[in-house]
Amino acid sequence: MQKMTLTQPLLDDIKITVTGLRFHGKVADYIPELSFMSPDLFAISCVSLDNSAVETGDVNQYFTMQSISKIISLSIAIEKLGMKEVFKYVDMEPTADSFNSLMRLEMSSPIPANPFMNAGAIVICALLQSSFGAKAFDEIISFTELITGEKIEFSNKVYESERSTSDRNKALAHFMKSIGSLPGDIDGFLELYFRQCSMMCTVRSLAKIGALLASGGISPLSGKRILKKNTAYAILGLMTTCGLYNGSGEFAVRVGIPGKSGVSGGILAVSPGNMGIGVFSPPLDSKGNSVAGLYALELLSEKLNLRNMGKS
């Protein structure tokens, strides 16, 4: 099909089209504080490699990154420890299991399937805690600020809500410790995990992170290299195969570009060599992915021919 150009009217049209879908799905309530987010919210932002932005909707609405923050902690771990060392402790394989599943650890492998599963993200937090000690969360905040050029806050309300309803994540951590996959201070690892998930962002924040990855690790803000090229490629590969948990295959078919979701309703997507995309709408499908966000990205990918960028 003929590729369109990214414009304000194009994003506005997508917003109008997906409006009705916001009421299909359910706002996450297993973390009680998330349930207070209005299901009517919707925003999308596209940031190009020259740092220019086109966006529409509730673009100034802050929400917590949740699992999208796993991109940040994994990037730091790979940059600090190296690819080989990180992937001794966590695999890089997709799975049909839900994001907080314990089953594969018990039945198949003693290490988590990938670093975007909750179990894998807890392992990454353990590696960061071992490397940076009490300053591990400061490293995550500082790196996020470096990428986005924004002051990053975190929601204490969401953090406390998540920590008080964290039985499944505690079970994952204790099980991994029992089989020798997670030595050390479990409470400290979980504390870091809950804090990173509670970092606040907007859709533009997500799009800026996506633009960094789209450029192969060079900052659209400063023009300086922030990530090694191989780190950026590894993150994009994992986003493609594992970024939307057991909905990753559907996302690959419908949208066809790397993505990473969070249960607050955010999705970060990347059009390599082109732009980063952030989308937000709280109602989720049964797999924990934003219903309207998925459809908005499907429409954007179709209209801009993102899966075949650069080809006629």
15-54 pLDDT, tens digit per residue, is 999 986 656 789 999 899 999 999 999 999 999 999 999 9
Of the listed 70, 208, 260, 303, which one is catalytic? 70
| 50/53 Cα distance (integer angstroms) | 9
Average pLDDT, stretch 233-258? 95
> Is 263 annotated as catalytic?
yes
The answer to whether 124 and 90 are in contact (CB under 8 A) is: yes
115 and 58 in one domain? no
Is 118 contained in some domain?
yes
278-291 pLDDT, tens digit per residue, is 999 999 999 999 99
151-205 pLDDT, tens digit per residue, is 999 999 999 998 888 778 788 777 777 777 777 788 888 999 999 999 999 999 9
Is 161 contained in some domain?
yes
212 and 193 in one domain? no
Out of 161, 177, 197, a domain closes at: 197
103 and 216 in one domain? no
250 and 186 in one domain? no
Of the listed 18, 123, 203, 263, which one is catalytic? 263
115-164 pLDDT, tens digit per residue, is 998 889 999 999 999 999 999 999 999 999 999 999 999 999 999 998 88
Of the listed 18, 45, 47, 67, which one is catalytic? 67
164: containing domain? 67-197
CATH number of the domain residue 35 falls in? 3.40.710.10
73-117 pLDDT, tens digit per residue, is 999 999 999 999 999 999 888 765 655 455 555 556 667 889 998
| Distance, C-alpha 151 to centroid of its chain | 19
Buried b vs exposed e over 278-308: b needs ≥16 C-beta within 10 Å? Answer: bbbbbbbbebbbbbbbbbbbbbbbebbbbee
Out of 146, 177, 197, a domain closes at: 197
pLDDT band at 308 (very low <50, low <70, confident <90, very high): confident
What's the total number of domains in the chain? 2
Out of 154, 171, 197, a domain closes at: 197
Give the pLDDT of residue 30.
Answer: 87
| 229/247 Cα distance (integer angstroms) | 27
246-300 pLDDT, tens digit per residue, is 899 999 999 999 999 999 999 999 999 999 999 999 999 999 999 999 999 999 9
Give the pLDDT of residue 166.
Answer: 78
Is 311 contained in some domain?
no
pLDDT band at 1 (very low <50, low <70, confident <90, very high): very low
> Is 245 annotated as catalytic?
yes
> Is 89 annotated as catalytic?
no
The answer to whether 207 and 275 are in contact (CB under 8 A) is: yes
Is 138 contained in some domain?
yes
Is 124 contained in some domain?
yes
> Is 67 annotated as catalytic?
yes
216 and 97 in one domain? no
> Is 70 annotated as catalytic?
yes
